[in-house]
Structure 1
């Protein structure tokens, strides 16, 4: 999970770590290099990040054939239709907006992993 809000990362980690192994990053700039070692089953990205934004990270990850089918969930405070459609253009699998409930996040992740 990549998000630049430490409070949200702590809450989401608490919600998810009961069922999943969770790695959190506040900056995704090293993610394209780290992703091979992390071997994720799913990636959760914020759109607005320092450095490379979530959309650019998704584009970079999708260019790696090993991860072209990896579920990528955009979880963002942006309610913009433009961001929703840009998510699709870069290869995002799903798009949810903050604030979000534990139940909604877990349900979407379970759906993407099944």
Structure 2
């Protein structure tokens, strides 16, 4: 069954361009022109990925991304942000809100499709991993490798797929420092088109959700897991 993509953009020519090219890649495409249409569509349709413009009428893309990622029903739905802005802060804020990737307008359709395929592949791998029930732990942090749950200080921590994979990798290698490039390649893959600031954003989010001290930074070296007793 073809994967279904929701493309949300207020420019009709962009919507039609996305629909035409994504359908050529055998995806099913649903279109929306306003941010306030999205949750109605998500309630009615099974969506595998959202392509979301930053500037939208009704509700802007950043606010909508935050709402989706805060909703227990849809928070694992991958989102690729589209933005006409070039400032780094807009890209970083999008990642902070939970976006899985971003593409700046004007964009190459070939690049966008490559990103769509990479995000969907990572999502499938995360959702389809079948393992024996196993828990790894250190200090106050435990990770269930079957349910993909993280528990810190007896509380379940809601993590996105990449946050989970990132903290799992660090927890499984407690004495090892990873550079940003190491983490980018291991978690996002060699075909990822982003940069190492993506790693920094996800590390900040993990620290905010779990503990500021859970990951140690060594300037010029990288990141390392720290067990908190």
Is 2:22 the counterpart of 1:16?
yes
Taking the aligned partners of 1:103 and 1:28, their CA distance within structure 2 comes to 25
Q: Secondary structure at the match of 1:29?
A: helix
Partner of residue 7, structure 1: 13
Is 2:25 the counterpart of 1:25?
no
- Structure 1 residues 104 and 112, CA gap change in structure 2 (3 angstroms): same
Taking the aligned partners of 1:30 and 1:2, their CA distance within structure 2 comes to 9
- Structure 1 residues 63 and 33, CA gap change in structure 2 (3 angstroms): farther
Please, what is the CA RMSD of the aligned residues? 1.1
Is 2:112 the counterpart of 1:100?
no
Q: Secondary structure at the match of 2:56?
A: coil
1:25 deviates by: 0.6
1:15 deviates by: 0.4
- 1:52-63 alignment to 2 at 5 Å? 52-63=59-70
The TM-score, its normalising length taken from structure 1, stands at: 0.93
Gaps of 5+ in 2: 1-6, 122-229
Indicate which of 43, 68, 85 corresponds to 2:75. Answer: 68
CA contact (8 A) 1:32 1:57 kept: no
Q: If each structure's helix is expressed as a fraction of its own residues, which one has the higher value?
A: 1
Between the two proteins, the alignment pairs up a number of residues equal to: 114
1:49 deviates by: 0.7
The TM-score, its normalising length taken from structure 2, stands at: 0.48
Partner of residue 77, structure 1: 84
1:94 deviates by: 0.3
1:23-76 deviations in whole A, cap 9, x for unaligned?
Answer: 011112121233121221000100011120001111111122122111100012
Partner of residue 110, structure 1: 117
Taking the aligned partners of 2:8 and 2:40, their CA distance within structure 1 comes to 14
Q: If each structure's strand is expressed as a fraction of its own residues, which one has the higher value?
A: 2
